[in-house]
Every structure is written in structure tokens, then in C-alpha cells.
Amino acid sequence: MRLVERFARLIAATGPISVAQFMAESNARYYDSRDPLGSAGDFITAPEVSQMFGELIGLWLADMWDRAGRPMVHYVELGPGRGTLARDALGAARRFGLTPPVHFVEASSALRAVQQTLFPGATWHQDLSSLPDDAPLLIIANEFLDALPVRQLVRTAQGWRERMVGLDGDRLVPIAGERPMDAAVPPALTEVLPQAHEGAILETCPAAAAVVGEVAHRLARQGGAALIIDYGRTGPEYGSSLQALRAHEKVDPFVCPGEADLTAHVDFSVLPALAQNAGARWLGTVEQGPFLITLGLAARMESLCKAAPGQAGAIRSAAHRLAAPESMGALFKVMGLAAPDWPDGAGFRS
């Protein structure tokens, strides 16, 4: 049975469900049933755009590890997709002596099968709770937080209500719930946002907060560093950022749940405090373009062009896509975290 039909039956029988439940169940079905990446899939991530992305991430990790004294470490990736980023990053890091055990946090059985072809010796985890605790961790999360379920609150004439998914005939549609939810609006948001008008939507992501808190707690306790890379904003704002991609085109998020990739923008403004409260150091949050350029994107691009002059056009186009403000360079942000006694990371403003 298609998920849209199952949702319709559930809602008809028991009433509307929250946007968070809708998104969580939709993405669980979606990711467990397919490999969504690449031209034949629904979307392309930065590691699939060019090897340059993963190689520069690998150099960042190797530099951090080297300046931390070259301890025994574990490589951890959250939502590693096809394993492309890990392959390129660890390939670059290997040239500097960094060859850590590999751990993937991956719930999708379909993607685990793909990852195993590249990393048959890796260890897979359903969540962060089973990660090793015997050594520092080098953690990468690229386009992981955006797929976690968001909670949406909508302002009505009667006050704030949770945004739900209900039925209009046989169609799934967003509606306002009946229970008052004014107490659920974070006070910090009301202090920085203007007075909400009727119809205004507030988004929060408790799941992303939990993940960042656990990553930071691990770093504080075990040592290590983390890069969290995703598209999103640097401050709170009103509006729904929920979107669905299918065959590289945006579609209505409520039309084909379980058959399209549902994501929402990450609010990077709330994450540093969460990490610091858990004991980690926040290295900074910067746009992806300047970050990659600082790490040496231009030099790596020229090296690849020289090695494969017939592919120079494609290589330059990929670098532009990764770093240009009008492409991925400004929309995507990079947040760095580290253990209290680990060094600062390259690419972040001091």
C-alpha cells in the first residue's frame, strides 16, 4: 500500500497527524526503499558533484588530527549516502597517515547495501548511541539534519496551534490543530522575531537539536572534532521550509509521501549554544563557498584540470557549483565543533 493511502486511512480513522510525524514516517519509508542519489535518483549532494568536496573535507580532518597529536581516532559519518564522501575524504586523509576505523550511522537498509560495496569493513549503527567510546571521534554530517522531522506551529486568530496534516476529500493537506500551543513557542524566538501575523509558521527541529547535543557531548567526553554541513539559515524566521524533491524537481510535500525526499532548512543559529551547553567548542559557522575556497578548492581544481585537460570544463563547472553564492556556496553552511582541548579548525573565522 502506498504511504499516502495509509496516511489517509489513519487520518480518517483517528484524526489529523502532526507535520513532524508525517515527515518522519515519509522519510523512513523513502530512504529504506531506494538509493535516491544521482542523476537517476531524486537529488545530488555535494560529494556526488565532485571529488573535490570530499577531498577537502578529508584534508580538514587530517589537519585537525595532526595538530591534536595524531591520536587513535574513529571516523564517523551520519547519513553517508553512497559512501562517496567517506571514500574521497579518507582517500585524501590517508596520504597524511590518517587511516581510522570507519563507522556509519545509517538507518536505510538500501543505502547500507550500497555503502558496503565501498567499505566492507565498516561498522554500521542505527543511531549515535552505539558509537565507540574508547577514542576521539572525527564526525561528518553532510545533508543529514535537513531530513530530520520538523515541528511546525501556525498562528491562528485564537493563538498558536500545531500544524497538522488532515484530509480534504481524499487529499492530504496542512491544517491548524485544535489544541492551544502558545506555551510551545520558544521564548528566544519571540524575542528576536516581530509580532506574528495570522498564518505565520514557526519551525523547530527537536531531532536536530538532539543529534547536535549528542555529537557535542561525545566530543566533550572523548575528544575529536565534527563538521556539520547542510543548507539552511543563520537566524530564525517565519515560514515553512518543508519541501519535497522527486526526480530533481520540487513537488507538493503532501502529494506523494514516501516517494519523494522531504527536507527542511536547518536553523544554524540555535545549534552553537546547544553544542556549547553539552561541553564542546563551537569553531564557527560559515558559508560552504568561502570554507572550501579557504581549504584550497581553487588549487585542487587547477591540479585536476592539469591532470585531465579534456575534463577541465566539467571540473571548473563542478567547483563553481560547490562554491558560487548563486549555487551551493551561500545556501549551504558549515559548522565546526571540537573537544575543549582540540585545536581550532581551518576555514573558520577566528
Distance CA 226, CA 237 (A): 26
| Distance between CA atoms of residues 78 and 70, nearest Å | 23
How many other CB atoms are there within 10 angstroms of residue 281's CB atom? 22
> Is 126's pLDDT higher than 70?
yes
What is the b/e burial string over 31-41, where b = at least 16 CB atoms within 10 angstroms of the residue's CB? beeebbbeeeb
Question: Does residue 125 sit within a domain?
Answer: yes
Cell (9 digits) for 283:
569553531
How far apart, in whole angstroms, are the C-alpha atoms of residue 278 and residue 89?
27
Q: Residues 120, 124, 130, 135: what is their CA dihedral angle, to the nearest 10 degrees? A: 40
CA distance 314 to 120: 31
User: What is the domain-level CATH number for residue 296?
Assistant: 3.40.50.150
pLDDT at res. 236: 86
Is residue 164 included in any domain, yes or no?
Answer: no
CB neighbourhood size of 270 (10 A): 18
- Helix, strand, or coil here: 286? strand
**pTM (whole model) above 0.85:** yes
On the question of pLDDT at 57 being above 70, the answer is: yes
For the residues 32-58, what does the mean pLDDT come to?
79
pLDDT at 40 over 80: no
Q: Which amino acid is at 342?
A: W
What domain count does the chain have?
A: 1
> Average pLDDT in the 241-263 region?
90
**Quick one: pLDDT at residue 39?**
56
Whether 100 maps to a domain, the answer reads yes
Which range among 97-101, 193-197, 215-219, 274-278 shows the weakest confidence by mean pLDDT?
A: 193-197
Is 177 contained in some domain? no
pLDDT given for residue 227 in this prediction: 98
What confidence score (pLDDT) does residue 187 get?
80
Residue 5 lies in a domain: no
Whole domain around residue 294: which residue ranges? 49-147+208-235+265-338
Residue 45 has pLDDT above 90, yes or no: no
Which of 34-43, 139-148, 257-266 has the lowest average pLDDT? 34-43
**Structure confidence at residue 188 (pLDDT):** 74
Q: What would the mean pLDDT of 39-49 be, rounded to a whole number?
A: 73
Is pLDDT at 212 greater than 90 in this prediction? yes
